[in-house]
Structure 1
C-alpha cells in the first residue's frame, strides 16, 4: 500500500490531498488503469483503511519488485505527489554537474524562485563520507540537498555523525543538554516511512506528512537546532 500513485496521464497523485468525499467518488467511478502503482506500474485500486486513511494498493498480486526499489520508487512518488499538490513541478532522475565537472543525478529536483532543491532518497547503507561528498557536490553546484532515508539507515548514520559531532563541537565531553539526534548542521537527514501515512520523521522522533516537511524547507521552518534537524 502507498498513499502516492501516478495517474493515467503520468501525473503524481497524493491521496491525502484529496478530500474524503472526492476520494469516495473516485473509488466508485475510477476505471482499472486510471491510477498506477509507482513501484511496478501495475494498476492501482483506491482504498480506505479502518482508520479512514486513503491509500492505493495493487489490483492483483503483490509487487515482486525488490524491497529497496519499492521504497525508493514509493519515496520519489510521495515527494513528487506532495510537490504537485503544492503547485510545484518536480522532476526525477535529473542529471547535473558541478563547476569542477563532478556529475550527479538527483532523485527529485525542483525550483522555487531563485532556489534549486534536491531531495535524495537513500534506503541502503552509505558511509558518512559518501553522504558528505555527495552533499558537497550539490553545494558546489548551487543546489540545496535534503535527505530522506529509512529508519535503519538513519540509526546507522546517526552513530557516525554523533561521534563526529561530539568530537568536533564538545571535545568528546558529552554536554548536559545532550546532542539531540546527533546529526550534522551541514547534512539535513530525516527518515521516511513509505507505508501507512508516509510520514517524515525527524528531530526527536517528531513526524510530519511529506507535504508539511517540504513546506518547512521552503519557508525556513525546517532548521538545525542543537544536534537535530527539526520543524520549528
Structure 2
C-alpha cells in the first residue's frame, strides 16, 4: 500500500495519508499518467481500501516484477511512525530510496532527519527474515551514513530473531549462564499485534529491551527516544537512557 507518488511534470510529491480531502479528490480525478509511482516511474492509481486507507498502486500493465505489496498493518504503523516524528518536530519522509557508495540500494519505510542533519531510518519488519538479512540490510544503511532501527511484532519476528542470536551466542551462555538475544548492530523495538491484516484502534505499546531492561513506550516516546539517542548498548543487552 504505497503512500507516495510523484507528479509527472513537476516532480511534486503527494502523500496519500496526509493529503487534504480536496487534494485527494483532485488526485483521483487526474488523467492517467499524471502521477507516477516511486522507483518504477509507472503511472500510479490512487485507491482507498475497504478500511478507508488511502494508497497508490501501479496501474495495470507494468511489464516487470512489481515490488512486494505491503500489508495493512505495515502501512498503518509506517504512517504512525512518520506522524509521531512530525509531532515531535522532526522531518520524516516515507518510502525514501538511497544507495551505498558501492551502489547497493535501500528503501527506508520512514527516514527522519535530526536537527544536526543526521539521518535515521525506521524499518518495519512484519515477516520473519534471516539474521544475516537483518545484518546485511543494516550494513547498507551504515555504509550510507544512516542509522537504522527495526520495529517488529514480537511473534513471530522478534521472537525468532532473539532465538537466532541465542543460538549464535551459545558459548557465552555456557560460560556465563546468560542468554544473549540481542546484538549491537540491530536496534530492535517490538510490539504485540494480532496479524498483518489487522491494526488496533489504539496505537500498540512499544517495547525496548528485555527482562529487567524492558521499557514500555508509546510510539511518540519510542521514535523521539531513538532520534535523541536514548538506546545504548552495554553487552549483552540494549538499554534505554532515562
- For the superposition of Structure 1 and Structure 2, which TM-score range results when normalised by the shorter chain? 0.5 to 0.7
TM-score, normalised by the number of residues in structure 2: 0.64
Q: Which moved more, 1:188-197 or 1:102-111?
A: 188-197
Change (3 A) 1:226 1:72: same
RMSD of Structure 2 on Structure 1 (CA): 2.7
CA distance in 2, matches of 1:230, 1:40: 41
SS at match of 2:103: coil
Aligned to 1:189: 188
Cα distance change of structure 1 residues 136 and 39 upon mapping to structure 2, 3 Å threshold: farther
Superposed, which structure 2 residues align to 1:188-207 within 5 Å? 188-193=187-192, 195=200, 196-204=202-210, 205-207=214-216
Higher RCO by CA contacts (8 Å cutoff, separation 6 or greater): 1
Contact 2:120 2:227 in 1 (8 A): no
**Equivalents in 2 of 1:39, 1:162: separation in Å?**
40
Q: Does 1:117 align with 2:120?
A: yes
Q: Which residue of 2 aligns with 1:42?
A: 52
Please point out which of 154, 160, 163 is paired with 1:159.
Answer: 163
Q: Which runs of 4+ in 1 moved over 6 A?
A: 38-41
TM-score between the two structures when normalised by the length of structure 1: 0.67
Aligned with 1:213 (options 210, 222, 232): 222
Distance 1:218 1:7, change over 3 A: closer
Question: What is the CA distance between 1:223 and its match in structure 2?
Answer: 1.5
1:138 maps to: 141
Alignment length, in residue pairs? Answer: 174
Where does structure 2 lack aligned partners over 5 or more consecutive residues? 1-15, 22-47, 55-69, 193-198
Q: Which runs of 5+ in 1 are unaligned?
A: 11-37, 45-67
Q: CA deviation at 1:224?
A: 2.1
Partner of 2:66: none
